[in-house]
Structure 1
């Protein structure tokens, strides 16, 4: 009788642990943020230049593109030159485009991004499948 009860408790704890781990594996955390940049001059632009609502006057096809920084990076303000990031969107973790303070930030973090458009990169957990989606 005691052995049977122990097995039930162990099986119950295993089910709880598995569901907890599955939940953790699906949790998304923003680890990068994109700022709008003129790809010809590497100058940071207002987010509105990249979000499709406007294009820069005088250009046929806007050179404005999203430029991505990882958490902890120093991000320059609008009008300043960017460096230390990448024009390639992260493929292995979640990120947001826009929402970084136009004045810049000395240490980029999820808390310092206000708004923006997030993209979630999900990796499968127990029985999950990997994929990319927007949130």
Structure 2
């Protein structure tokens, strides 16, 4: 009888110990998986940021426009709804002085070859800022690592 009780207690302790080992193992796996997931995410974000910096378009504003109180902020390049691929430049323009004139924009590829031109009449009062759409021809494609010159 004593042997049966000891054997039963031994089985209970063994089962409890196994469950505890299983729980600790699962916690360790989860913690390790979380660490691997964080590392992978940081790696992917770093690669993405590196690609963005390498492929981004450079915007250069002429000294005449700067002297007229203009500066640029955020920009985006998208497909023109009227046709073409990556041929619509949306540019945020900031006015430090009153301004009303036609602005010309030239696009150059990564080799410095001109690929297109656009113009738009722009008007703004001192202290204002707004987004302006410069539409290039249907065959113009503003490529990665291009340069945009605003004159």
TM range (shorter): 0.3 to 0.5
TM superposition score normalised by structure 2: 0.32
- Structure having the higher helix fraction is 2
